[in-house]
Copies of this chain bind each other. A is one copy, B any other.
Amino acid sequence: MDIRTLCLGILTMGDATGYEIKKTFEERLDLIFQASYGSIYPALNKLTEEGLVSCRAQSQEKRPDKKIYSITSAGRYLFFDEIMKKPAADRFRSEYLATLMFAHLLPAAAISELIDERIADRLQKIESLMSDCDTRQTDREQFLCNYGRTMYQAEIEYLQENRHLLEADALLGSRAAE
């Protein structure tokens, strides 16, 4: 499942412009799938060429034309086929954790600060998900929203209980440097 396919999926929920599709990624899928204009617009062009979506232009008086995309029945069939396939493995990349793997090269204060900031960030994310969750209509969106909260909460607890492993390491390092 690539971004092209997911654009198709978003269009099963109703017609939309490229801009609106981007907003949907940000507001409803940000936890699990990100997409930039640089991938969305080319995706929509390709889908149009292939007859999987259709596009009607709505001219606006003083703004650039809106291009409103609709999924075709061929598009619906293809999307259905795609979600029946076994999904590829998650891709996760964390500069934050990669940095911590070199904690022995960092001053002790920097490590503590990194962890404090991470916890604060996670708390803030949980809070913003809390308010979001209530406004979610479908059970699926509730499910995703609570999934995010659960994972962030687990991370916070892990950091609080295990930060000493990294911080002790750093103390040794700075003592050795004396």
Q: Does A155 contact B (CB under 8 A)?
A: yes
Chain A interface residue number, banded: 35 or more
CA distance A89 to B90 in the complex (A): 17
B150 touches A154 (CB 8 A): yes
A1 surroundings in chain B (CB, below 8 A): 95, 98-99
B33 touches A98 (CB 8 A): yes
Q: Does A59 contact B (CB under 8 A)?
A: no
Of A45-53, A127-135, A158-166, which binds chain B?
A158-166
A143 touches B100 (CB 8 A): yes
- Distance in Å: Cβ of A174 to nearest Cβ of chain B: 15
Q: Does A139 contact B (CB under 8 A)?
A: yes
A147 touches B158 (CB 8 A): yes
CB closest chain-B residue, reference A114: B87
A33 touches B139 (CB 8 A): no
Q: Does A175 contact B (CB under 8 A)?
A: no
Q: Does A21 contact B (CB under 8 A)?
A: no
B158 touches A150 (CB 8 A): yes
Q: Does A12 contact B (CB under 8 A)?
A: yes
A96 touches B87 (CB 8 A): yes
Interchain Cβ contacts under 8 Å between A and B, 11 examples: A6-B98, A12-B105, A32-B93, A32-B97, A91-B93, A92-B92, A97-B147, A101-B144, A143-B166, A146-B162, A150-B155
